[in-house]
Amino acid sequence: MSTTEINNLNQIPNLIKNNRTQPILDYKECLFEKVYVETPVDTDGDGQLDLIAVYLRRPKETLLGHQIPAIYVANPYMLACNEDWYVTYNVDKDIEVFPQQEITKEQTAAPNRLPLGSNTTHRRGTKGFAQTAETEEIPLECISDWYSYFNCRGYASVFCGGLGTRGSDGLTITGSNEEVLAFKSVIDWLNGRARAFTNKTDNIEIKADWCTGNVAMSGKSYLGTMCIAVAATGVEGLKTIIPEAAISNWYAYDRYNGLNVPPLGWQGDDIALLSKYCCSRAMDQDDYASIQERYEEVLAEMEISQDRASANYNSFWEERNYLHRMDDLKASVFLVQGLNDWNVKMNQAIPFWNQLVKRQIPRRMMLHQGDHIYIHNLESSGFNELLHSWLDYWLYGIENGTDIVSSKVFVQSNLDQRLWQESSDWSPEGTLLAQFPIPESTHKTFTDDLSLTGFDREKNNFEEWRNRLIIEDGAEAYSLKYLWPQEEDLRICGTVSVSFSAAINRETAILSAMLVDYGSEKRLLEKQEIAEKEGLIWGKNTPIADWVRFAKEEKPSAYRIISRGWMNAQNRTSNCCKEEIESGEFYSYTFEMVPMDYTVRKNHQLGLILYSTDPEATERPFKMTKITIDESTIDVQVPCIKQGQAKTK
């Protein structure tokens, strides 16, 4: 649609010029409102459909009848969290041994149940209507100032904590159908299909007449996860999503091949704990008293269903696997992921991307060198310009060429952060699957015994453990290491898999693999530094931000971990089923490491380490276990690309 055609619609005058929305609106003059959207669920069991508090900011020009699109953030963290309730699970324990199981994938299907409260017949009556619901602005946690950039350019921003958060009804049940349907109802309200009220008691209804019905969802981590989950419902009006460091499969977030493997840095975390952490209704004691008994029952059910004992995939996790609900997804996707994010790892973004490719969903992806961060103010990324054009195209219908750009993937190089490697897909064209030969062909045994590694369970001295495992002498007692010198730069871009045959002297074991870049170099850090102080002005009277870049190590480091992978030896053929192991018997094992895009510099060495307990990631057994590997069976498959074949920007 041309600029003239758009401006002839019910849009804010002079907002669009040169095929771009312009920063002509004053952020300080925006309305800040609070409404309560009616959801289709009753999770707290009070006989009424749950209401969820929604905060929104929209330009005052909408009071004159002008309509605008909305950027919506579903954010369970934003109204504070129960820090005192965050008590992690004990991970210093032996891995439980299970008898032979005969569980099929069909038996892990999502439960065939109606969402809680679907049969609720009571409906609130409407006693009147309001045009606005202005409220005093309150601080919202985990909300970026980035949205002010778009407020000044004719976009509303909409924020919702969801079920069980402070001021809302219901219970926080992380990842569940109920949570997703509740967040979806906000888009339904923005499109006139659901109701909202000015408060929870007076039944004064308020409509979103100011909204065109075109909605984007955005956010990082849990927030980005809900982008994917809601989009997978196929809700009308959701035109695009911008998930950053988002979970597409909750099992792969908290588990890995039959092991409890939480996000690195969050040992002992799990999904029931996250639900409890985010249920900020508990901060209002009188309010929480009305739901406490019911919520404790729900949490107890989650504790059982998440099944930390076996860590198997089951119907609980299937309900939270949005990769299996992609058939209804229609919204375009701009996916953002940190290559050094070991909280929400690359094994969330890449399977989701592959599903988008399979279904030919309009898409873009940026892979940056950060960890669990936003990149709105990352120097050299061009992120804001890309997103501005993306949202103008999908929400305003501006024909700016976004739909015909050939480069769909932008990968920031770990060798030069100013270099963004472009391609039409990931892995890029020209990626080959390389095998790295193991020269030895004997049987070698190592012992899983944390006391040998220098790890202290009380101190959690992870850095010392890593250094001992990777570069110090003596690690051969508890690991196997293989090195391959590199005569030219080697860009690894894809999912590395490792296979081997092993015998174990017990009924189960943890199997781990690590890919390492060996070589002295001042490498990029995940830590950021200021590139330009207060150099980023989002718009008129908006907050001001610093431009940042990634810092470099002050002294050369000897190595960098590229990727890791893990497996419960009893889950050698399936993540939903345990198989018995005969002591001393050789079995074949194959598992994937976390997908990665990383360039090993010329004259460095690529290293593979096979080991057992990973104190940063897995549970930490006390029993000693001996693992014997037939070196002639080790097979390492590494997707890699020759430098110079991918485009850069």
pLDDT for 372: 98
CATH number of domain containing 588: 2.60.120.260
Let me know if 168 is a catalytic residue. Answer: no
Q: Tell whether 403 is covered by a domain.
A: no
Let me know if 269 is a catalytic residue. Answer: no
Percent of the chain residues past pLDDT 70, beyond the cut: 97
Structural domains in the chain (count): 2
- Active-site residue, from 66, 368, 372, 604: 372
Q: Which residues contact 468 (CB under 8 A, 6 or more apart)?
A: 453, 454, 474, 475
**In which band, very low, low, confident or very high, does the pLDDT at 418 lie, cut at 50, 70 and 90?**
very high
Each residue's pLDDT tens digit, 494-529? 999 999 999 999 999 999 999 999 999 999 999 999
Mean pLDDT value across the chain: 95
- Active-site residue, from 168, 176, 221, 275: 221
Q: Is omega for the bond preceding 427 within 30 degrees of 0, making it cis?
A: yes
In the predicted structure, residue 9 carries a pLDDT above the cut 80: no
Same domain, 170 and 303: yes
Q: Tell whether 479 is covered by a domain.
A: yes
Q: Tell whether 259 is covered by a domain.
A: yes
Task: Report the DSSP pairing between strands 332-338 and 238-244.
Answer: parallel
Q: Tell whether 236 is covered by a domain.
A: yes
In the predicted structure, residue 66 carries a pLDDT above the cut 90: yes
Coil/strand/helix, residue 620: coil
**In which band, very low, low, confident or very high, does the pLDDT at 287 lie, cut at 50, 70 and 90?**
very high
Structure tokens at 413: 């190089």
Q: Which residue has the tokens 């009924």?
A: 507
pLDDT for 645: 41
Residues 280 and 161: beta-carbon distance below 8 Å: yes
Same domain, 505 and 626: yes
**Between 177 and 11, whose confidence is greater?**
177
Each residue's pLDDT tens digit, 70-126? 999 999 999 999 999 999 999 999 999 999 999 888 889 887 777 887 777 678 999
Same domain, 622 and 484: yes
Same domain, 307 and 436: no
Q: How far apart are CA 501 and CA 618, in angstroms?
A: 21
Each residue's pLDDT tens digit, 301-326? 999 999 999 999 999 999 999 999 99
CA 589 to chain centre: 28
pLDDT for 524: 98
In the predicted structure, residue 59 carries a pLDDT above the cut 50: yes
Same domain, 309 and 447: no
Residues 384 and 537: beta-carbon distance below 8 Å: no
pLDDT for 122: 79
Q: Tell whether 252 is covered by a domain.
A: yes
For 598, the domain range is 432-524+555-648
The lowest-confidence range among 8-12, 154-158, 267-271, 530-534 is 8-12
How would DSSP label each residue in 196-249? EESSSSS-EEE--TTEEEEEEEEEETHHHHHHHHHHTTT-TTEEEEEEES--SB
Query: Region 356-365: what's the mean pLDDT?
Result: 97
Q: How far is CA 83 from CA 78, 297, 327, 535, in A?
A: 13, 21, 38, 34
Is residue 147 within a helix (H) or strand (E), and if so which, with residue range? helix 146-151
Other beta carbons within 10 angstroms of residue 435's beta carbon come to 9
Same domain, 326 and 436: no
Residues 124 and 38: beta-carbon distance below 8 Å: yes
Is residue 293 within a helix (H) or strand (E), and if so which, with residue range? helix 292-306
Last residue of a domain, one of 316, 331, 346: 331
**Between 183 and 111, whose confidence is greater?**
183
**In which band, very low, low, confident or very high, does the pLDDT at 646 lie, cut at 50, 70 and 90?**
very low
In the predicted structure, residue 457 carries a pLDDT above the cut 50: yes
pLDDT for 501: 98
In the predicted structure, residue 647 carries a pLDDT above the cut 50: no
Q: Which residues contact 244 (CB under 8 A, 6 or more apart)?
A: 218, 219, 220, 221, 223, 224, 336, 337, 374, 375
Residues 272 and 262: beta-carbon distance below 8 Å: no
Last residue of a domain, one of 331, 348, 376: 331
The lowest-confidence range among 105-109, 399-403, 413-417, 461-465 is 105-109
pLDDT for 1: 59
- Could you tell me how many helices (H) and strands (E) the chain has, helices first? 13, 29
Q: Tell whether 487 is covered by a domain.
A: yes
**In which band, very low, low, confident or very high, does the pLDDT at 440 lie, cut at 50, 70 and 90?**
confident
**In which band, very low, low, confident or very high, does the pLDDT at 648 lie, cut at 50, 70 and 90?**
very low
Burial class (CB in 10 A: 0-12, 13-18, 19+), 395: buried
β-sheet bridge partners, residue 463? none
Query: Region 393-405: what's the mean pLDDT?
Result: 94
- Active-site residue, from 341, 448, 517, 597: 341
Phi, psi angle pair for 21, to nearest 5°: -70, 140
Last residue of a domain, one of 292, 315, 331: 331
The lowest-confidence range among 9-13, 96-100, 152-156, 331-335 is 9-13
Handedness of CA 37, 43, 44, 45 (dihedral sign): positive
pLDDT for 119: 76
In the predicted structure, residue 404 carries a pLDDT above the cut 70: yes
Q: Tell whether 392 is covered by a domain.
A: no
Q: How far apart are CA 473 and CA 96, in angstroms?
A: 32
Let me know if 341 is a catalytic residue. Answer: yes
